[in-house]
Structure 1
Amino acid sequence: MFQIPLVFVLALCLWLPGTPLYAQGPAISYNDSIKTIFIGSNTGVPGSQVVQLSAVAAAVPESVLINQGGIWLSRASIVVESTAKLEIRQSDGVTELHLESFVDTEARERSITFIQVR
């Protein structure tokens, strides 16, 4: 049986071009029919994908997440999956985050906006 010397294997590993690893932001999607923003996924390392509110706003329609001079308004619910971490910090220009909900008593409809972390 032929054996490859360990030095050769180590040299080969060092010689092969490596693929650089870049931190990836979480997947961000918006479902208009249920007015919900989804951040991250349910498979992967928990909390490994960090995203700021401004990055979420850039990934959804303008009318869904609005910056009003540091006071942010969300017209959609936000679901943060286990792989993601949503950072809402004053140092990023967020002084307040408002969640817009409405109740239409005549039509007996309501829409409660929420943030859920799974």
Structure 2
Amino acid sequence: MEFSERLKKLRKQAQLTQVDVAEKLGISQPAYASWERGVKKPTQENLVKIAKLFNVSVDTLVSNDKTDDIGLSEVELLFRTTSNGMSNEEKKVFKQELLQFMEERKKLFDDKN
């Protein structure tokens, strides 16, 4: 399920209108509607607000059921949102661990092929 579809589903489950959500997020209804249509994507700050509003994790919002389709920009976004509140040293370690994990996974996939 794409982000835009997941966003619309969460809004409907909460029985909110686009106007309601936009007001709660402090944005315009047309800006919010563009997210649901998949025309634009929210900023990191707005992703955090959406996650809090619907009581879900940012990862749940941006996760893609097709893991092969996850792009570098989404991995970067996940790093930024999950490293929020970490010290610079913690971020450095986390980034190294994330890169190491990605290299190990790539090697596993390459070895299978």
TM-score, with length taken from structure 1: 0.24
Q: Comparing both structures, which one devotes a greater share of its residues to helix?
A: 2
TM-score by length of 2: 0.24
Structure with the higher fraction of residues in strand conformation: 1
